[in-house]
Amino acid sequence: MTTCDRSFVVADPRFFAKAKGPFSAAVLADIAKAKVVPRKDGGIEPAGGYVGIAPIQAASMRDVSFLDNRRYLSLLDQTQAGLVIVESDFIKRVPSHCVALVTSDPYLAWSRVARLFYPSSAVIPGVHATASVASTALIDPSAQIEAFAVIGDNVEVGAGCFIGAHTIIGAGVRLGQACRIGSHVSMSYALVGNRVTVSHGSRIGQDGFGFALGPVSFETMPHLGRVILEDDVEIGANSTIDRGSVNDTIIGAGSRIDNLVQIGHNVQMGRCCIVVSQAGISGSTVLEDYVTVAAQAGLVGHIRIGNKVRVGAQCGVMSDVEAGQDVIGSPAMPVREFFRNVAVLRKLSKKWSKLVRGSSDLI
């Protein structure tokens, strides 16, 4: 294999630990919360069970795969997978040599099965010899701290935490249990819950963008708040979350922040919010629970976004949005209104084109 070989490999062993297992169909059905539908011959698994996972077009008889999109039904017809996770509407298309796991949410079931075969890498307790750990820091003996990490005064690192190479954890920061902090992260003025993941290169707790206009030039506002990352938050690579100025910046439990996202000072996000890549949320904006902000959207400061609002890609949100709405466009507006406006503009454009052509015919 050359360095640029494009041949397909599931979970290349150079990067991923060998798959756990094999597992029986009964174990997979239990973890996936799904119903087993046997092969045409009545069998439910190959001898020795299932040994791995693979995409539907590349799976073999000892592999598990899934399908949740009607557009790819032709791949289901041709698959060589031994077991396929599908919803009930697709069961008639499952080949006779396949076992099916039937569930209302194949993607969720696939996630659970994939994590069964490939669980997160284990934390190896210990502090690398090149790490710098302040004498006043409290590091749980079960935590792992990699090379050249810097742990400041009075930091608390909980049980089962992982802190990557070259990461800086500033004075007073507290990490709960089972947190995973990637390499080259800087974290300061932050209180972090349990099972929080912060990916490589992210910046947590720096000054926000706040200043006053003085008689001669700008004068920077002090930022005296913190960043609160509640339980089960995940933050992607190279994202930035500013600490509060006088209030705290809060990321609610279970929320997911993609790579390259900017969260301004005093922002308060509720539970299970999603913010997608290159989106920016300005200071003091409030997102209630289950809000989704799509890629490259921008939200101005000091507004409130209601429960379960969905903000479309490249949307510019300049005022409050009521709960349950889907908004797109810039300035943001409800989806139906946006497309109604587009339809009217198209009609006007066609009429104008006809008028222009008609006037030119008269010349």
Beta carbons within 8 Å of 60's beta carbon, 6+ residues apart: 54, 80, 81, 82
**Which of 18, 24, 89, 8 minimizes the C-alpha distance to 56?**
8
What is the Cα 357 distance to its own chain's centre? 51
Q: Burial level of 276, CB count in 10 A (0-12/13-18/19+)?
A: buried
Tokens of 341: 């406006």
d(CA 346, CA 350): 6
Amino acid at 143: A
Query: Is 265 marked active-site?
Result: yes
Catalytic residue among 97, 166, 184, 265: 265
Backbone angles phi and psi of 316, in degrees to 5:
-110, 105
In whole angstroms, how far apart are CA 298 and each of 20, 271, 275, 317, 324? 43, 20, 11, 6, 19
Instruction: List active site positions.
Output: 265
